A and B are shown apart, each in its own frame.
Chain A
Amino acid sequence: MRGYLVRRLLLAVLTLFGISLIVAGVMRTLPGDVVDVLAAEAFYNDAEKERLREELGLEAPFIEYFGDWLVNALQGDFGRALRTQRSVGDDLVNRIDVTLELAFLGLIIATVISVPLGIVAALQRSRWPDYAARSIAVFALAIPGFWLATLAIVFGAKWFTWSPPLGYQAIWEAPLTNLQQMWLPALLFGLILAGVQTRILRTALLDVLRQDYMLTARAKGLSRVMLLRRHALRNSLIPFITVIGVQFPVVLGGSVVFELIFALPGVGIYLLDGIANRDYIVVQAVNVWIAGAVILTNLIVDVSYGFLDPRIRVSS
């Protein structure tokens, strides 16, 4: 188990390092003189331009530039946003809770929807509950999140004269207002995410149900409920946890759109603002953070395999 953990951790660090290198490399190959573009956007004068050029280390060779960036980033310093001159690291810390809350609520709602649907579909295979559950899943898979959110806003305003409250409140400042703002985006997000989860859980359960040990357990007289609880659900946990790991990037990507439509000041909006201002310091930092979050999730998923399935622990 220890060797397994160490190996996974090393791979994660290596991947994150590679990603930082690639992101920095892409940013350095931007067409034209970056400083001119940035300075024009931020209305800098010549002296400020010189300072910027020096601060970004654009004159230095790439290795030196990347080394500096990496050393600073490891200390939590991701540079300053070009327009606001605020610390990008601090900005991200202030915004990450919005995105994480949305992602977390969305995943919980998706799980609440998909677990019963998946179980019913697998147990009632090829009967109408199965077809119904699968249809819901395929529908959810094909609906663009931003369309669902747009419809909710448009028809909410039209039919119920309801619109999402403006002025975001953090959950620890005003929990009630926060939930008033969050429930709808989280619900819609959860509906979208439930599609993939239902499909994976159903497939995983069907795989387990056709195993020989299920027949043995049934033969020794275990009730159907016990069979499901003790054998089937537990053994289908691994693919199900995998899907949450696989979905995490989708969740973070999808969050951008929901944050925009519901005016939630999360990391997604920060990225959009950074892109609109052509602030490549912000874009670089957000990309590395998002990739880091995905890698961390996958690491947690991999480690939880070791806990859930002793075979994985032993074989590696």
Chain B
Amino acid sequence: MASSTHASASVAEPRALDARRVGVALFRVVRRYPFPCLVTLVLFLIGAGSGLADFVAPYDPNAINPADRLQGPNSTYWMGTDALGRDVFTRVLYGGRASLGVSVTSVALGVVVATAVGLVSGALGGWFDVLVQRIVDMLMAFPGLIIVISLTAFFGTSVSLLVVVIAIALLGGGIRISRAAAIQVGSQPYIEAARTIGATTPRIIVRHILPNALPPIMVIATAYLGVAILIEASVSFLGYGIQPPAASWGFMLGAEARIHMIEQPWLSVWPGLAIFLTVFSFNIIGDALRDAFDPRLRGAG
């Protein structure tokens, strides 16, 4: 901020409407962290394209057109067509809507539950903490993919079940991180001070521990978005995730599609590239968030 006159002038104006100020701040962030910003932009484009697939996609995702089957990328079909002559670009957009929808919802669910359990467990200690730790041990003994395919195969393959099951697969690690954060925050003098002036345990957990434990939880949530995308894609790849004819990135690379990939190798490129770019972006943003929240770890991983 330049001078004191400038600062005092801005008090009089409504700050939120000061577009120039926002622009300057944005420019500074972009210049300081160019790569995370670029990645955020990529992710934003993938998210907007997928979320608005109904308006953006050039074709109907399920329109079969045998005359145009197995084409390579061209000006009519930007990413070519699949074995039924469906537009691959359109299906990648719709697949993204399914993938992102499932992973964002399951991460939200998993992280909220894990945070609640982990914070209470870390703050209370005692028998509850011991119990939670044993449960976490058990959850961590199952590979995420194994939990998800075992449960979806038996309980059916609905999208809402997929969300819940992926959330369960993320619980163990999430509880471990938030519990560690709660214990670390709980040993701070200000928690003792709050207790001294008579704050109740629920109040301390919600008002003091939760806000201070949020940074590591947000970092793990971002990393989990990538993990959830990978799990969802693997499960759909194996045929137990999002069911055809609905488009999904995983299924587009699955056994049925693989038959035609020798004939039209482009089919094997696009959905995988979409998964890779999305997961890569979430990981980079997760790393950037971690650096921002905890400068001691800057460039540590």
Mark A residues whose CB is within 8 Å of B.
11, 14-16, 18-19, 22, 26-27, 30-31, 125-126, 134, 138-139, 141-147, 150-151, 153-155, 157-158, 199-200, 202-203, 206, 249-250, 252-254, 256-257, 260, 271-272, 275-276, 278, 280, 283, 286-287, 290-291, 294-295, 298
Contact A153 B258 (CB under 8 A): yes
Question: With contacts defined as CB atoms under 8 Å apart, how many contacts are there between chain A and chain B in the complex?
Answer: 141
Partner of A257, one of B137, B234, B269, B272: B234
Mark B residues whose CB is within 8 Å of A.
134-135, 137-138, 140-146, 149-151, 153-156, 226, 230, 233-234, 237-238, 240, 250, 253, 255, 258, 261-262, 265, 268-269, 271-272, 275-276, 279-280, 283-284, 287, 299-301
29 intermolecular pairs with C-beta atoms under 8 Å apart = A11-B137, A18-B138, A19-B138, A125-B299, A141-B283, A144-B230, A144-B234, A146-B234, A147-B253, A147-B268, A150-B253, A150-B268, A154-B261, A155-B265, A200-B301, A203-B301, A206-B300, A250-B143, A252-B143, A253-B143, A253-B144, A254-B145, A256-B149, A256-B238, A257-B238, A271-B149, A280-B154, A291-B141, A294-B143
Partner of A126, one of B142, B226, B299: B299
Q: Identify whether the interface residues of B are mostly helix, strand, loop, or mixed.
A: helix
**Shortest distance from the beta carbon of B143 to any chain A beta carbon, whole Å:** 3
Q: A19-B138, A143-B276, A254-B143 are in contact. List 16 more A-B contacts (CB 8 A).
A: A126-B299, A138-B280, A138-B283, A144-B230, A154-B261, A154-B265, A158-B265, A206-B300, A249-B143, A254-B145, A256-B238, A260-B255, A278-B153, A283-B153, A286-B146, A291-B138
Which of chain A's residues has its CB closest to B271's CB? Answer: A147
**Shortest distance from the beta carbon of A301 to any chain B beta carbon, whole Å:** 13
Partner of A144, one of B134, B137, B155, B233: B233
In the assembled complex, which residues on chain A have CB atoms less than 8 Å from the CB atom of B230? 144
In the assembled complex, which residues on chain A have CB atoms less than 8 Å from the CB atom of B240? 275
Which of chain B's residues has its CB closest to A248's CB? Answer: B143
**Shortest distance from the beta carbon of A206 to any chain B beta carbon, whole Å:** 6
**Among B150, B153, B276, B284: residue with most chain A CB under 10 A:** B150
